[in-house]
Chain A
């Protein structure tokens, strides 16, 4: 193993470079966190407070951002007057339903594709990945017509199916990569000990369980964050959180306080889930091409 120690000498240039990198990092950190902070703070502000802004060029008055009396009014309103509990339930059912369908069917298929050698395997994989990559709007055009004629528009099963268009190929593709890494010898040994193939498959499941768990979470995340499918195919009976949030924009006035509160309600659970599966995040978001 090569040593990682590299001798560095102090010099004015190096000092300057270091200072610049530190400043850059701080600016980038502020750029990343500031919008989130403003969203959180604004969700606790009364309408008038939210509209307080220092005069143009008045840098000393930035503190006005935190000069307000916090109120939980917007959150209470969301859940009492605006029926967000229902939308939250819809979001949960649609995203978890689709994740469950996708990962259970996907795990079986991924295992089979990983183990089987057959002609056309590459074509099958290509089909799967291009299904995953198809633009949501383009998929929605025929799906909308089909769902309309079969009465699936505006229902939760319809929405679950719609989410499955991107979650199922994702699950197959990424879990195949996981099963590829499990040596076949384990199943062979299990079968020598008298397991049948199904039992052997169940036996290696614990080995990929952490991955499967993480990708269930990712599927939930993709479904939860979707807006396009939900706004067209879920419109009416199966309104999810993002659609309900968009509907807070009313012709007369945009209810910014409620929108920011709804944004927090939509975002915070997913941030927790994201941190939970931190290890698998990069693999998941790059379709398994890059692992940390």
Chain B
């Protein structure tokens, strides 16, 4: 019977002429192409969209940083060369913006990591772990700008509960919280700490679950106490997790400025004017978009640097973080 099967188009036509029934069947068209073209087609839409909203604007950013951008219709941009960048060197607010950014991040990160690890260690394997973790999650879901308003309300000098609390405890002499140079910084840091300490605690908890129990036991058999055990077994196992937590939080510290923008706008007297806030003022308050582009460019360089570190961290230990350990 096999001989009756048509092998060539001519034979097929002959069979059809003889009255053979045809069935509509295309042998898997996709499968005949090399897989890479198929995968390329799948990738392409996302890559094109992403290029359109990230690469194209990036080239625009470079163009803008070399021009004095005119927003009024009909006017064309004025070429100024690297003037926008040169001006940054003499710009005191630019330098202090970087300093304030690092100060803000250092404060946020040290408090968040300290508190977060403490909370995680206490919660780990406790009876209330599930319930408490769920409660601690709630601030993270809040829009940062809402958190900003909420804390502004709490800090208010006439009816704010935190203001009252600080006065009652006796740390705050008088004046207002957000109007005082020293207090304002701590006030915005406290908001960030309130929202994001739980995230660090969650990451640490995930890490604690993966601390190999046999290592802990072996160390105990060797006569180590609990504190010793924590320092020389648990903590080293936590490092990759803490590193990721710190990198991500640092990144978010300059990605989002909603809270600062709402609460202080960078004031008082630039005490909380971290660089992105300054960039916001330059670009969208004074609309000096050329200068803004130059500042944005420096900020993006930091991003790229962080990106390099993050891809490294994510790649190798990522496997370890997900599967490794005794968990």
Contact = CB atoms under 8 A, between A and B. Distances in A.
Interface of A: 2-4, 6, 21, 24-25, 28-29, 31-36, 38-39, 42, 50-54, 56-59, 65, 101, 105-106, 108-109, 111-113, 115-116, 118, 122, 124-131, 133-146, 148, 161-162, 164-165, 168-169, 172, 191, 194, 196-198, 201, 221, 224-228, 232, 242, 245-246, 256, 259-260, 263, 266-267, 270-271, 273-275, 278, 281-282, 285-292
Interface in B141-197: 141-147, 149-151, 153-154, 158-161, 164, 167-168, 170, 194
A53 B159 contact: yes
7 contacts: A50-B159, A131-B54, A133-B310, A139-B54, A145-B60, A196-B29, A228-B261
Contact of A108 (B42, B137, B217): B42
B134 A242 contact: no
A165 B168 CA distance: 46
Interface residues of B, number: 110
B274 to A, nearest CB: 11
Given A266-B146, A290-B206, A126 B308 contact: yes
B151 to A, nearest CB: 7
B235 interface: no
B43 A112 contact: yes
B270 interface: no
B90 interface: no
A198 B30 contact: yes
Contact of B122 (A25, A130, A136): A25
B132 A263 contact: no
B285 to A, nearest CB: 11
Interface centre among A6, A50, A105, A271, by most chain B C-beta atoms within 10 angstroms, is A105
B64 interface: yes
B46 A267 contact: no
A277 to B, nearest CB: 10
A53 B254 CA distance: 35
A145 B289 contact: yes
A198 to B, nearest CB: 6
A32 B46 contact: no
B24 to A, nearest CB: 15
A168 B49 contact: yes
Interface in B212-256: 213-214, 217, 220, 241, 244-245, 248, 251, 254-256
A2 to B, nearest CB: 4
Interface centre among B40, B143, B256, B299, by most chain A C-beta atoms within 10 angstroms, is B143
A196 B30 contact: yes
B141 A21 contact: no
